[in-house]
């Protein structure tokens, strides 16, 4: 059982260390830049609320993925019940250009944007698996995050990668 100051320092260090996970998951599940920000906030909140339940049985990043993906999946499920945004929505590409570093070329950014678009177009569970794979998470950890067996993860990933490749085909041909 951790004390509140311990929880606080753990939370702050994890948020700092794994902020990229939150941003990538949010962007993959959001329909707009504003929604991506909303999901990210919700994830941060859920991480804090769920932190006392972290038993240390998995890697922090695995646990963070689980909380974030669950939040994003729940968010999508509740999407139709949410009030409709009527304000003009910033394009999701704005996130890419806002966070781009000089090291990222314009071509990289374009491919990355197309990749996010393709990820958003595949079913939610496949999307989660593809995100984990792109972030270099092992099959064992993926099974911990999703609750699927490792074999099932492998099968689902093959299917997801095929779908993604189909969606990316036209794009990369254009860019090449």
Partner 1 sequence: MNWNDWEFIWKRQAPPVGAAADVAELAATFEAKRRRMERVLLVRDLSEAGAGVLVCVVLGIFWRKTGLEGWLMALAIAFTLGVVVVFCLERVRANRGRLGPEAPIAARIARQLDELRHMRRLHYNIIPWYLAPLGASWALVVIAALRAGARHAPSGHLMDLMRNPATAAFIIGYFVIVVPLTFWGAWYLNRRTVLKRIDPRIEELEKLQRELAPPP
Nearest to 23 by CA among 41, 48, 47, 50: 41
Q: Site for partner 1 (CB under 8 A): which residue of 32, 42, 61, 70?
A: 42
DSSP codes joined into one string, 64-97: HHHHHHHHHHHHHHTGGGSPPP-SPPPPTHHHHH
Interface region with partner 1, contact rule CB under 8 A, candidates 41-49, 55-63, 68-76, 146-154: 41-49
Q: Site for partner 1 (CB under 8 A): which residue of 59, 77, 82, 89?
A: 82
Smallest distance, Å, CB 7 to partner 1? 7
Residue 157 tokens read as: 């990933």
Residue 135 sits in the site that holds partner 1 (CB under 8 A): yes
Q: Site for partner 1 (CB under 8 A): which residue of 78, 83, 106, 147?
A: 83
Q: Site for partner 1 (CB under 8 A): which residue of 48, 70, 143, 159?
A: 48
Q: Site for partner 1 (CB under 8 A): which residue of 15, 73, 124, 167?
A: 15
Residue 84 sits in the site that holds partner 1 (CB under 8 A): yes
Q: Site for partner 1 (CB under 8 A): which residue of 104, 123, 149, 155?
A: 104
Number of residues interacting with partner 1: please give it, by CB under 8 A. Answer: 48
Looking from the CA of 125 toward its CB, the CA atoms found within 13 Å total 12
- The residues, any chain, with a CB within 8 Å of residue 42's CB and separated by 6 or more, are 71, 75
| CB atoms closer than 10 angstroms to residue 37 | 16
CA 146 to chain centre: 13
- Residue 119, H or E segment: helix 106-121
Asked whether 72 and 25 are in contact (CB, 8 A), the reply is: yes
Smallest distance, Å, CB 103 to partner 1? 7
Residues that bind partner 1 (CB under 8 A): 4, 7-8, 11-13, 15-20, 23-24, 34, 37-38, 41-42, 44-45, 47-48, 82-87, 98-101, 103-104, 108, 111-112, 115, 134-136, 161, 165, 168, 172, 175-176
């Amino acid at each position: 059982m951790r004390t509140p100051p311990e929880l606080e320092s753990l939370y702050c260090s994890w948020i700092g260390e794994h902020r990229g996970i939150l941003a990538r998951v949010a962007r993959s599940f959001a329909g707009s830049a504003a929604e991506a920000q909303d999901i990210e906030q919700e994830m941060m909140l859920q991480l804090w609320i769920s932190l006392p339940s972290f038993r240390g049985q998995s890697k922090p990043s695995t646990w963070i993925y689980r909380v974030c993906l669950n939040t994003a999946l729940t968010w999508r499920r509740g999407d139709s019940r949410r009030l409709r945004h009527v304000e003009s929505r910033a394009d999701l590409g704005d996130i890419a250009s806002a966070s781009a570093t000089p090291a990222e070329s314009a071509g990289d950014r374009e491919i990355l944007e197309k990749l996010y678009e393709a990820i958003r177009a595949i079913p939610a569970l496949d999307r989660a698996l593809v995100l984990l794979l792109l972030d270099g998470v092992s099959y064992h950890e993926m099974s911990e995050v999703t609750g699927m067996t490792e074999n099932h993860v492998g099968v689902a990933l093959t299917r997801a990668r095929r779908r993604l490749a189909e969606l990316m085909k036209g794009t990369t041909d254009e860019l090449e």
